[in-house]
Amino acid sequence: MATGFNFSVATMDTDKQPEVHVSIQKGFSFPALQKCKDCCTPAKFHCPFCLPTFYKPTKYSKTMTHLENHLKRAIFIGEYTIHKCALGCSTHAHYHCLYCTATLMKTNFTTHLVWCLKTKQGQGQNLSNMQESNGNRDNIIILNSGERGEEASRSSTQSVIPITMMSTEQGSCKCDRSVQTNFEKPQDCDEFYFMSLVKLFKKLSPQKKADVRMKIERLLFEAEFE
């Protein structure tokens, strides 16, 4: 059963945006995998969405399994699939906005996307096809990644997260730069231990903080696919 509401989706104007990031794919397809003979001996297959430091090149079957895990963690917007990117565009693994060059975390992706669409609409860009079929709402579809299989097999059924458009007065990048402070209480000893490391982290220089954060991001990203 479909959840939420069904709204039409703004599609990218490919004529005006010729350079779409590789992590943004149409449908559930992946870029064609080719054996790497430049840096791999013997030749192996790279993940098209990860640097070799994040995902070590390996044989075809293992790389395809890795890509299936990418698909489970992807964000689905209309006909587009936005995969998690670890190509070094940012200091941490991220998602690319469908309409601009912003790199985002999954937690603030939907908020940014709505603001981005609203801003472009205010600038008079061609977003006429984002209007709902009844013409009285400005919303977009974002499919739950957990329902990806159902969407592929039952095109008539969609699981969506409804989004309300922000006003241009409220639209600001502040939402993307805001710091999350409402952390949940630790559920076990391991979580308590890692939260206790914050005090040590605060003592580091900005450069050291960036280095440590990148290493932690890489370890967590690799752990997700184990």
**Residue 195 sits in the same domain as residue 92:** no
Burial of 94 (0-12, 13-18, 19+ CB in 10 A): buried
142 and 107 both lie in a single domain: yes
pLDDT of residue 82: 92
Residues 80 and 163 reside in one and the same domain: yes
List, for residues 84-140, the tens digit of each pLDDT value: 999 999 888 999 998 888 899 988 888 888 888 888 766 654 444 444 433 443 444
**Residue 113 in domain:** yes
- Claim to verify: residue 106 and residue 218 sit in the same structural domain: no
pLDDT at 152 over 70: no
The pLDDT of residue 224 is 66
Q: What is the predicted pLDDT for the residue at 185?
A: 64
pLDDT in tens, 164-206: 333 334 444 444 444 444 456 666 677 777 777 787 888 888 8
Closest alpha carbon to 48 in 79, 7, 85, 81:
85
Q: Answer yes or no: is 146 within a domain.
A: yes
Closest Cα to residue 225, out of 116, 65, 86, 99?
65
Structural domain of residue 91, as residue ranges? 24-182
The total domain count for the chain is: 2
- Cα–Cα distance for residue pair 103/221, rounded to 1 Å: 16
pLDDT at residue number 77: 85
132 and 46 inside one domain: yes
The answer, yes or no, to whether residue 15 has pLDDT greater than 90, is no
- For residue 2, what pLDDT is reported? 27
Q: What pLDDT is attached to residue 131?
A: 41
- Strand duo 75-77 + 35-36: pairing: unpaired
pLDDT single digits (tens) 126-144: 444 444 433 443 444 444 4
> Residue 189: in which H helix or E strand, if any?
helix 189-196
Instruction: Give the pLDDT confidence of 158-168 residue by residue, as tens digits.
Output: 333 333 333 33
State how far Cα 223 lies from the chain centre.
18
pLDDT of residue 87: 93
Supply the pLDDT for residue 226. 56
Same domain, 190 and 166: no
Only one residue has tokens 């752990």, namely: 223
The identity of residue 176, as a single letter, is D
**Domain match, 150 and 38 both:** yes
Whether the per-residue pLDDT at 49 is higher than 90: the answer is: yes
pLDDT of residue 123: 62
Structural domain includes residue 2: no
